[in-house]
Amino acid sequence: MSKIAHPVILMLAAIGALRLVSAIIPKGKENTPPKPRVIVDRPTRAGGKSFIVTGGTSGVGQAIATQLAREGAAAISIVGRSAERGAGVVKVLTDLGCKAQFIKASMDNVEEVKAVVGKHEGAFGVASGLVNSAGDTSRGTLAEQTVEDWDRLFAVNARAPFLLTQMATNSMKRENIEGSIVNIITITSHGGQPYLCGYAASKGALVTFTKNAAHSLRGDRIRCNGINIGWTHSAAEDKLQVKETGDVNWLEKAKEKVPFGKLVLPEDIAELTCFLLSENSGVCTGSVIDFDQMVMGGYD
């Protein structure tokens, strides 16, 4: 036999060696990291868009609407029952250069809730974002909660967000708007205090609705997230605490009891909500974020 290898054998050996080398050395194209995505600056991330904010006449909802206006929102509809407070917030928003209107609607009235989206669209076109912040926080224990209160809690805290999400997202789908919904929930949705029986249950329903809606809407690139907010120092909470404890210094005592020495502030929630409404939150959907200093599941 000749000592020189047959050319076919040589060729096969060369092909084998090439395959081996290409398997070991990573291909440049496949391993090029994606270009960093441009993050929209905070002052402009709501730019050109319009939003509906229920509960925008007060507390957390007001802080969210104000932050959206600061971040360049084109127009905002504030929804609530108090025309006086609504007018006050509209002035704040318009002073910030954002178009704004107050829509009077009680969240336990189906017809009034159903009219909200149409009124927004009549004034400002289809909304890119909806925030369900209106909430009925009425107390009631298992032993004493009435059916009337239970039904109203579910109407305001679960049915109204469902109806508004349904109507707002049907419009978004029609106009191919990749919108975002944020539901303001509560840490109490994990179970909560005995005196918040119906409230906790209704907000628990809103958690499940948030996830169900997110899953239903992802094919349309519409996102839906929730925030389980902890004990928040809003004006309404201040009024309630003074009424229940009779102590105008309740806040100082409350601060001593919590690990960070402060309660959640409406502005903290506004910050996260505006992020979730913006494209900076990417594909994040179906998440319900615990925004609190109590860690669920942790114990001493």
Q: Which residues bind ligand NAP (CB under 6 A)?
A: 55, 57-61, 80-82, 85, 106-108, 133-137, 156, 184, 186, 229, 231-232, 234-237
Burial (0-12, 13-18, 19+ Cβ within 10 Å), 127 = buried
Largest CA distance in the chain: 108
Q: Least distance (Å) from ligand NAP to the CB of residue 23?
A: 56
Catalytic residue among 51, 124, 154, 199: 199
- CA 288 distance to own-chain centroid: 8
Lookup: tokens for 157: 């805290």
Measured distance between the N- and C-terminal CA atoms of the chain, rounded to whole angstroms:
83
In sequence order, what are the residues at sequence separation of 6 or more whose Cβ sits closer than 8 angstroms to the Cβ of residue 125? 50
In the numeric block, the tokens 């958690």 are attached to 207
Distance CA 15, CA 22 (A): 11
Nearer to ligand NAP, 88 or 125 (CB): 88
Alpha-helix runs per DSSP H in the chain: 7-24, 28-31, 59-70, 83-95, 110-124, 147-154, 160-174, 197-217, 235-245, 250-257, 266-277
Active site annotation includes 199: yes
In the numeric block, the tokens 């102590």 are attached to 247
Nearer to ligand NAP, 189 or 281 (CB): 189
Residues acting as catalytic residues: 199
